Amino acid sequence: MQHLQLIAALALGGCGTAPDSGDSADTAVVVDPDAPVVTSAQVTCYEHTTGDHYIQWTAAATVSDKQGSDTVETMARIEVSDARGDLGEEALVCAGGTCNGSWKDQDGPDLECDTIAVGTYDFAFIVTDIDGHESLPLVVHGVVDGAG
């Protein structure tokens, strides 16, 4: 979605600058001034070993919107990827300026929960407001929680 907005803006001569050398790294990111902002985020995992064995993932984010936190949609998402590409997507529930979600390994992307693996996953938190403005993604890496 962000790439389409950037391409449209460049084609119409709007916001953003076209690269003059063919290097896409020179392209400015189009920021929607009315979009909400993910101000902080974290993802943790732990191996649950009592009873059923599974990996539990939890995610939390704080968000703001200049129209007020009550204008952020109640559903948001996390796009999960690594060097190989897209690994899946998870849902978050938002209210009062925070977004939270959790999932078990068998219900979501097949991710490992160890101190090396969690640092290789990109968790991109994205929220939308009631007017359809989408935030830029805030990308974080996971951490292993000592719970279990």
Q: Tell me, what's the pLDDT at 146?
A: 74
Q: What is the CATH number of the domain that holds 37?
A: 2.60.40
Specify whether 83 is located in the same domain as 49.
yes
Specify whether 112 is located in the same domain as 55.
yes
Q: Tell me, what's the pLDDT at 1?
A: 38
Look at the chain and report how many structural domains it folds into: 2
Q: Mapping DSSP to helix (H, G, I), strand (E, B) and coil, where does residue 122 land?
A: strand
Q: Tell me, what's the pLDDT at 7?
A: 30
Specify whether 135 is located in the same domain as 67.
yes
Question: Under 8 Å CB-to-CB from 37, ≥6 apart: which residues?
Answer: 63, 64, 65, 135, 136
Q: Which two tokens stand for residue 46?
A: 């732990």
pLDDT digits (tens, 9 = 90+) for 22-63: 444 556 677 789 999 999 999 999 999 899 999 999 999 999
Residue among 114, 126, 136 at smallest CA distance from 28: 136
Specify whether 23 is located in the same domain as 39.
no
Higher pLDDT pick, 98 / 69: 98
Q: Tell me, what's the pLDDT at 62?
A: 97
Could you tell me if 127 and 99 are in contact, meaning their C-beta atoms sit under 8 angstroms apart? Answer: yes
Specify whether 17 is located in the same domain as 45.
no
Q: Tell me, what's the pLDDT at 86?
A: 96
Q: Strands across the sheet with 98-104, in order?
A: 138-140, 122-126, 75-82, 85-95, 98-104, 54-64, 37-48, 143-144
Specify whether 38 is located in the same domain as 68.
yes
Specify whether 77 is located in the same domain as 116.
yes
Could you tell me if 73 and 36 are in contact, meaning their C-beta atoms sit under 8 angstroms apart? Answer: no
CA distance 72 to 143: 26
pLDDT digits (tens, 9 = 90+) for 86-143: 999 999 999 999 999 999 988 888 899 998 999 999 999 999 999 999 999 999 999 9
Q: Tell me, what's the pLDDT at 108?
A: 83
Q: Tell me, what's the pLDDT at 26?
A: 56
Specify whether 56 is located in the same domain as 117.
yes
Specify whether 125 is located in the same domain as 140.
yes
Residue 22's domain spans which residues? 1-30
CA distance 65 to 34: 8
Specify whether 89 is located in the same domain as 111.
yes
Specify whether 47 is located in the same domain as 8.
no
Higher pLDDT pick, 34 / 16: 34
Q: Tell me, what's the pLDDT at 35?
A: 95
